[in-house]
Amino acid sequence: MRNLAMTLSSAQLCKANEESKTGAQGSVIIDRSYSVDTFNEHSNPNEMLSGLRYFERHIKSDPNNQGVPKDAFSWGCVDPTLLGTCMLSITEQVQKVFIREPRLLHLTSPTYILGDVHGNFHDLVAFEKVLWRMGPVLTPSNFLFLGDYVDRGDYGLEVVAYLFAQKLIAPDKFFLIRGNHEVRNIQQMFTFKRECISKFGQNMGLKVWEAINRCFDMLPLAAVIDNKIFCVHGGIPSPENGGGYLDVFEDIPHDLPDPEKDSRLAWEVMWSDPLREEELDDATRETVKDQGGFMANHRRGTAYLFSRRALEDFLLRNKLSHVIRAHEVKQAGFQVQLNGKLLTVFSSSGYCGGTNQAACILADRSKIRTIRIDTS
């Protein structure tokens, strides 16, 4: 790879690519097609992906640093200011893609669905090598990520940089929806804000953190595959929100910095969980029955728990067959729940020092397959 400091001196490079889209005197010129930009190694997203491959590798003798070894999953001698400047340019571009997307995506199969990543760049690379080794453009399927890209893991910045770059390269094949950790006050309680500051310093770190969150503010909230499979980070909407019908999603603002305050529906689907069998004592059953299959979510302290009845009503009301969601770690990387109509998927192994595996789900022509990935 070329000298990374030169590659990421895309302070100028990123800026130049942006400016190439307008001619002298501000006149608009025809933009290159995505297909051409995809294979242009000097495009902003490809520059970032090249940098991330350098970051990932162990180098015994780094020619960019006078032969000094570089550890895997480190930036070596790269100037963090240059890296931060390139990240700012990527966020500026990808914002324009997210703001145009509907709040409820409509996708077709085949689609691979990944759950929480939580800053686990190692596992994200493992999924890449198995599922889209040739890149998303040359892979005959869509890719849908169900949120929680940051916090808890060490490499939230790199995960976001990778996903945003791939979104720019393949905007019609690579899709991201919002999880409960794509919210500023949650990140302040956990690790992502501190991660940005530790990697870039106070001033640049806060700029990068805020720029990334401006993109998170614009992410879609859910997706439907083949008009049959509802995909979301947390859970189904309650009937209190537009009767529990899918068309109410388009009432969610496209720019949503504070979902807890500004969209009850968005907050619900980011935070809710299915009820577990062990939670269904007589008192709980009575409460859930009286509330149409929903009750306060005592695990999270916000949103709802929903029962099998609530799920079945939601599916029937919207002519759906299944719900696929993330939001909860599962030992095998996935779990089939609520009479086989709900699947939870988690795509970060060894979560918080645990022993869980990582998995994804393939929705393909009316079939749902679970896939575990060896991330060792």
Q: Write down the residue that tokens 């990543």 correspond to.
A: 117
H or E stretch covering 50: helix 44-56
* CA–CA dist 219, 256 (Å, integer): 9
Please tell me whether residue 74 adopts helix, strand or coil conformation: coil
* CA–CA dist 293, 238 (Å, integer): 9
* CA–CA dist 248, 317 (Å, integer): 13
Q: Confirm if 38 and 137 have CB atoms less than 8 A apart.
A: yes
* CA–CA dist 148, 116 (Å, integer): 5
Q: Would you call 255 exposed, middle or buried from its count of C-beta atoms within 10 A (0-12, 13-18, 19+)?
A: exposed
> Is 122 an active-site residue?
no
H or E stretch covering 315: helix 308-317
Q: Which of 106, 118, 122, 181 is catalytic?
A: 181
Structure tokens at 234: 């947390």
Structure tokens at 283: 């008192």
Q: Return the DSSP state at 127.
A: H
In the beta sheet, which residues pair with residue 370? 361
Structure tokens at 318: 């919207």
CA dihedral 180, 184, 189, 195 (to 10 degrees): 110
Sheet holding 304-306, edge to edge: 273-274, 304-306, 294-296
Quote the distance between the C-alpha of residue 260 and its chain's center: 19
Strand residue runs (E) in the chain: 59-62, 68-70, 104-107, 111-114, 142-145, 174-176, 222-225, 229-232, 273-274, 294-296, 304-306, 322-325, 334-337, 342-345, 358-364, 367-373
* CA–CA dist 177, 192 (Å, integer): 18
Q: Confirm if 142 and 112 have CB atoms less than 8 A apart.
A: yes
Q: Which residues are catalytic?
A: 181
